[in-house]
Amino acid sequence: MSAQLAQPEQSVRPAPAITPTLRSTGRRAAFWVIAGAGALIVALIAMVLSNAAAVGGPPLGAENPAPAGGMALAEVLSAQGVDVVVADSLDAALEASAAAQAADGGVTLFVSDPGDILDAAQIARLGVAEHTVVVDPSFAYLQELAPEIGFGGVGADGPIAAGAGCALAAAERAGSVAGSDDAALKTLSVPSDAAGYAACCGDAASGSSVLVQRGGPGALTLVSDEAIFANASITSAGNAALALGLLGEQPTLVWYLPTLADVAVGTPSLAELTPGWVTPVMVLLVLCGLAAAVAYGRRFGPLVIENLPVTVRASETMEGRARLYARNSERLRAVDALRIATVGRIATALGLARTASLDEVVGSAASVTGSDPSRVLATLLGDEPQNDAQLLALSDRLLDLERAVQAATRPGGATGTAPSSTHDSRTERMEP
């Protein structure tokens, strides 16, 4: 293509900095930081709430000063001269009881097993002490130690009197028992035909009692509710008198709370030792992570403009494409590009719709310029250049036709004037 091509100057401008700043990085990471901090706070709160009751030790622990512990009772018994021996396993408790009996001294075995750790065989070994006191016995304890006794439900709120038929000296001295803030106490059911049992602090009509004792060698006392011995309620009603009377009648008291060392079958698994809230919290965290990944994860979106270091003008791209066409003798492809652009500009000048057909463009162009429609059609579609000279001539004809249409459609333009080719028109640039 021999049209004179003006060489544009290349404009260079500095590219904007695209290195992430500390502020932008922090803004993107803010969600994950806040989410992680929130999850940590939730986990800490759940841990604190789940372990609040276990602060200081197990319930009724002799060294537990918490409201649920039994340190107050153990300290008072020690001050009264009772030798309080703390045992953390069944074997240790039985050895301490046997040693105290061998020394010609009486012994009381105090047992509290809220976790129901001991199995039936281990529970059956508890009857060796001179006096055994079991607090809040479970069904397994009742079946092994006192099968005649059952559960009596929950008594009325407020203190429960020992009752006129109570034959136990410790209960008579106590007068009544009560839970913390006069809360209702659990009770045991004693059938009327149960021989050898004495019941106190209950309802004689229904047969429910807080305290049940079986006398004779190897005496057994069942106390239905641990609140009577707990620090928070030891001073309620006659709880302290009852506890001191039951546990301080012998010179030695073996304070036994079953632990994991008494587990009969192997060592508990990690799942058994893990608190129950861990699994739902972990599931919730996984679901939150998946939801956040879906909501904020990277995904394909609309194309963005790349920040280039220099600006390349469209004319340079056009000239490069023209050189490729000339190098490969693609005359028809080059002229097609010129024709498509010319037809579009002619249609715009004629006020035709973008969907107008080529026949409509040819007819309108021939009408406004007074040209032969067949010649206009040949210029816009039919003629195929066989050499560079014909390509240049066709390019000039396209330019002349476009100028004629623009002149005819311009306000004040002369309609019906045929296009004329001048030397200047062949020297101007034709852009697609």
User: pLDDT tens for residues 395-424?
Assistant: 788 788 888 888 887 776 555 444 444 444
Q: What is the pLDDT of residue 363?
A: 79
Clarify whether residues 49 and 63 are in a common domain.
no
Name the pTM for this structure: 0.53
225 and 185 belong to one structural domain: yes
In a domain, 3, yes or no: no
* 297 found inside a domain: no
Q: Is residue 75 pLDDT above 90, yes or no? A: yes
Q: Which residue has the higher pLDDT, 140 or 9?
A: 140
Judge whether 163 lies within some domain: yes
Domain membership of residue 278 (yes or no) is: yes
Residues 165 and 240 in one domain: yes
- Cα–Cα dist 154/49, whole Å: 26
pLDDT grade for 210, boundaries at 50, 70 and 90 = very high
What is the span of the domain harbouring residue 319? 315-427
Tell me: pLDDT of 432 over 70: no
Residues 129 and 65 placed together within one structural domain of the fold: yes
Strand boundaries in 171-231, DSSP class E = 176-177, 186-189, 197-203, 208-214, 219-223
The Cα–Cα gap between 342 and 402 comes to 7
Residues 48 and 133 in one domain: no
Give me the number of domains the chain comprises.
3
Co-location of 35 and 75 in the same domain: no
> Which pLDDT value is given to residue 221?
94
3-state DSSP assignment of residue 213: strand
Q: How many residues does the chain have?
A: 432
How many Å apart are CA 336 and CA 379, to the nearest integer? Answer: 11
The reply to whether 213 and 126 lie within a common domain is yes
CB of 331 within 8 A of CB of 70?
A: no
Q: How far apart are CA 242 and CA 210, in angstroms?
A: 11
Q: Is 198 helix (H, G, I), strand (E, B) or coil?
A: strand
In three-state secondary structure terms, 231 is coil
Judge whether 188 lies within some domain.
yes
pLDDT of residue 425: 40
Determine contact, residues 309/63, Cβ cutoff 8 Å.
no
Rounded Cα distance between 259 and 264, Å, is: 11
Domain membership of residue 87 (yes or no) is yes
Residue 1 has pLDDT above 50, yes or no: no
What is the percent of the chain with per-residue pLDDT over 90, rounded to a whole number?
A: 31
- Does 133 share its domain with 238? yes
| Residue 9 included in any domain | no
**pLDDT attached to residue 270:** 77
Please tell me whether residues 191 and 87 are part of one structural domain: yes
Mean pLDDT of 83-90: 93
40 and 106 assigned to the same domain: no
Considering only residues 299 and 5, tell me which one the structure prediction assigns the higher pLDDT: 299
205 and 327 co-located in one domain? no
pLDDT in tens, 353-374: 777 788 887 878 788 887 777 8
Separation CA 18–CA 11 (nearest Å): 21
Tell me what pLDDT residue 316 has: 66
430: confidence class by pLDDT, cuts 50, 70, 90: very low
Same domain, 278 and 367: no
In a domain, 296, yes or no: no
Please, how many CA atoms are within 13 Å of residue 210, restricted to the half-sphere of its CB? 29
Once rounded to an integer, what is the mean pLDDT over residues 54-74? 86
Q: Which of 104-108, 145-149, 315-319 tops mean pLDDT?
A: 145-149
**Confidence class of residue 20 from pLDDT cuts 50, 70 and 90?**
low
Q: What is the pLDDT of residue 43?
A: 85
